[in-house]
Structure 1
């Protein structure tokens, strides 16, 4: 057979085979389209992180624009909803991001947090109630009452005062009606908490100066920077304009953390471009920015301080003095970790002496059996607890409600 003829037959066979493969591929593609299946991604789609559903071959990370928003940064109500299906248009992600930027109102969050406050404060109150409703109280019972109060961080002085009043009250020794005992305990705890004390933030009042300046102070690990960010959200929910100053220049991530909080509610953050910059100069620039912007509130976050570092405590005074060259500091809020108990009291005293504090923010009250710190810190310093943080959510910060707290202590559940 002629060689040219053989070559021609082979070439013709290859061409025919290629045509058959192409026809089959096209038919399969159209069948997938008609059945609702998505065609398998091509190599180019996998290598392009901007393609819908694509991955970067280089780092294997899914396109971040198409990832669902993390539940950790969503408002609790939004996070509890079923996760929506991403449709590739970006509309769902945009809606979730918009929801994240809308802080919960102060009234709504207070109602929502009351039940958590009751749960966190309940353990020692329930133990107290169980003892005081016994038919006859012995010395051992009174000692147990004292132990319960001390373990709940009510403090030695406040515990002794409460026990003395209970022992001398005829309703305890002569009354076995549980409701009467509960009402007795309620009234005495409210006295210890000084229910008439003014707990309102100056910035929330109608006659507040503009800007109303709040300094946030506290040792490392109490959640101070997080609390500053949550406080900004609370003011935004009250339709106030806010500026934040990142005067914690010694912790590398502090300014970034504060800026992240600010971005979520469109609050500008004044910060230094370098770590270790003079905190007072940052506070000064933040004060000027707040005045220029006609802001309602300026929140200044300061570095976490160790109570035995006198030079660092002096620096807090310097930050305040420099800030007040432009505006008056209305509030100095000390952030305390509720789980630290009496160690937190030692911190509070040092800060009170160093700079003077106008209020306490108790963070990490969720699940804590040490709710008595509310009583002891107020009794020792004469400074009210103004805010409490009861969870990880961005809106889990609310004004402290003394009556709700006491009712939570005495709740039976």
Structure 2
């Protein structure tokens, strides 16, 4: 008997979230095991309010377009999941005779998937990882991260060259990146440092290390005694030793991290140091021009693998990327992690990748290997930097 299957996109989108959906739909359409292929709209809210659309009729051109567009075509967002909501979801799935459910998202979504699986024992539930924050356990890295990392590397490199040009006017530039409570995205800015040999050291502040304002000022003064300008990269989620966010704001009734760069830049100006803040913002997860092709292919791969795993009768698992690179020509297998073991947990940057003063070179090497491609215009940026810095490197310009 053919099954009805549904897929949900939840949480913050990425540049390759729709690629996982496209991979899933391609595999599901070519399978003989499905009667209906549905997509619930706007994440968990759609599951609760029973808002769904038929996805079985998309043609090849539409699927190819999906692979190359950011956002979440089904609609995503955040929505509270309560016991009453779980009961409603169970009724909605029964009403539509859905026996297989796929949820694409981050650690919050995997927590929701685990809850739905427990509330709906007759439904196979499978998770596909997705997060630019890269804070999911159970996978070597998460789809969405590599593209965001590439964007950050290119953006910070450009900001570094711009700062160098304006060093007699602006001494310190503080750049804020996403990442919530972990520093994988901030660490990705190290791609900029290696692409500009001998550029003044870029300083990194990640949530994995507590932040102290006075120590920060000391570091700034030490740096400016040796270099004409200073570039600082801060994660939005940096916290004090007491665990308090350095900066946050409210949106939709919830407090979210953000504003650290503006706060630090203001404090520097109050101390007489010319400073400017830059927030890379939503483009980190929504750009189309810095998408890492391996990231896109991995997202498609996991979408296809979800159909295979469901066909094997598996449930209550999240698919993950193995440590070894996948051969997309010969094919490969996703690794599986039990939802209960990863649901709601956050994976910090591995301690081996962090040093007291910044990012260990082994991290940047790891990231470059995972990306499998250089930053855009890497050679020309290096040549321009060498020309600009010829008379000034390691000197006060």
Q: Which has the higher strand share?
A: 2
Q: Which has the higher helix share?
A: 1
Q: Greater Rg, structure 1 or structure 2?
A: 1
Return the TM-score normalized by structure 1. Answer: 0.30
